[in-house]
Amino acid sequence: MSKILAVLYPDPVDGYPPAYARDSIPAVTDYPDGQTLPSPTAVDFTPGELLGSVSGELGLRKFLDAGGHELVVTSDKDGPDSVFERELPSADVVISQPFWPGYLDAARIEKAQNLKLVITAGIGSDHVDLDAAMRRGITVAEVTYSNSISVAEHAIMLILDLVRNFVPSHEWVTAERGWNIADSVSRSYDLEGMDVGVLAAGRIGVALMKRLAPFGVHLHYHDRRRLPADVERELGLVFHESVESMAKNIDVLSIHAPLTNETHHLFDDELLGKMRRGSYIVNTARAEIMDRDAVVRALHTGQLAGYAGDVWYPQPPEADHPWRTMPHNAMTPHISGTSLSAQARYAAGTREILESFLDNAPIRDEYLIVEGGALAGTGAKSYSTDGSASPGSSGHSANAVTADRKCLSPAFD
């Protein structure tokens, strides 16, 4: 019998289940690079259900009960008195989502003496101290590709929201009960013809550029690895050797790089100051790629015309986090990778990983980040150039829990 501890975000304020807007979701049959979709033996949910909150239990309850395993689900994750920290010492498996990360720093991993497997239901395991996991021989796995397209779609939406001034225009007719056309359009432009830059051309970055091309924009990108020439030709991409070169020559930037030592606080006063006045930034990667207060300053001076995104630090952010109230923002909670559509895929992938683990069978290589004391699978290919995890960023304390994050370096696959 195994004990599985799942940290999931709280249920909707009006209760669970919510009233769904639609009766079904389209079946996605393949990923762009040929990777196959999750293939557990079965799932005990209907795709389109809310699975990522506590009562959704990622659809795992029936399966785990039937196998005689113990499933503990909580959203209480931060601080020494949290349910997460109390249950951790006896857990064999921990599951959490980047949207509501169960931070697993070295101290927590030390307390988790039974821990054998950490699953990220989604993509991005930077909430786990991977070096500590390697030292302890803990396997870390995530559901690669499950929400990449979800994020690319979200980035498209945020770019249009900012450039066309959607949020304030919406507020004029809803909150203000007005019809203020001049107020709404005095910051509204067409995206067509603009220079749009994409930082990092990985799974999400490439998917975004494919979706942006039909808008008639001039596409620029920077990645530490250049895309094949035929991809550049097909999409009309301008490659920049440096972030600075790209930043100086664009009107809109969308960020899709991982958080690493190289990207931590990359966009500070200096780099933001090199951008065209009135640039827009969309960030659905990781918040700490930005210098938090430099973003606020740039919005106040008009150096940035808008900032949108769904990633914050810490998560959840404090009530007085300045990004909640800074001008010209289109911020949301961390939602881009947890649409109901994405949840169906990563819940199925989580079950697939659990089935492998409980059967003592190998976990799919593309889901592996760490195994047997080293980076493995996607972790070895995408998260590092030299095969080692590099230590991370601010170590900010989220409600007394230090998120001793390990920043890795994904590579283009």
Binding residues vs ligand NAD (CB under 6 A): 123-124, 147-148, 151, 200-205, 222-225, 256-258, 260, 262-263, 284-286, 310-311, 334, 336-337, 382, 409-412
Q: Is 315 a catalytic residue?
A: yes
Contact 296, 322 (CB under 8 A): yes
Q: Which is nearer to ligand NAD, 132 or 204 (CB)?
A: 204
Running DSSP on this structure, what letter comes out for residue 226? P
Minimum separation from the CB atom of position 405 to ligand NAD (A): 11
Nearer to ligand NAD, 25 or 149 (CB): 149
Catalytic residue among 222, 240, 334, 364: 334
Q: Least Å distance between CB 372 and ligand NAD? A: 21
Which residues have CB under 8 Å from 136's CB, separation 6+?
Answer: 109, 115
**Mapping DSSP to helix (H, G, I), strand (E, B) and coil, where does residue 203 land?**
helix
Least distance from ligand NAD to the Cβ atom of residue 263, Å:
5
Contacts of 175 (CB under 8 A, 6+ apart): none
Distance from chain centroid for Cα 300: 27
Active site residue 165: no
Collapsed DSSP state (helix, strand, coil) of residue 396:
coil
Residue nearest to ligand NAD (CB): 202
Q: Which is nearer to ligand NAD, 345 or 351 (CB)?
A: 345
Nearest 5°: phi and psi at 44?
Answer: -110, 40
In contact, 398 and 103? CB cutoff 8 Å? yes
334 given a catalytic annotation: yes
Nearer to ligand NAD, 285 or 326 (CB): 285
Instruction: Decide: helix, strand or coil at residue 372.
Output: coil
235 sits in which H/E element: helix 229-235
Q: Minimum distance from CB of 92 to ligand NAD (Å)?
A: 26
Name the DSSP letter for residue 313. S
The one catalytic residue among 315, 328, 329, 343: 315
Locate all alpha helices (DSSP H) within 287-393, ordered by sequence. 292-301, 340-358, 377-382
Q: C-beta of 322: minimal distance to ligand NAD in Å?
A: 20
Nearest to 204 by CA among 139, 257, 166: 257
**Which listed residue (147, 283, 329, 343) is catalytic?**
147
- Of the candidates 154, 203, 256, 286, the residue annotated as catalytic is 286
Q: Is 250 or 358 the residue whose CB approaches ligand NAD more closely?
A: 250
- Indicate if 343 belongs to the active site: no
Residues annotated as catalytic (active site), given as ranges: 147, 286, 315, 334
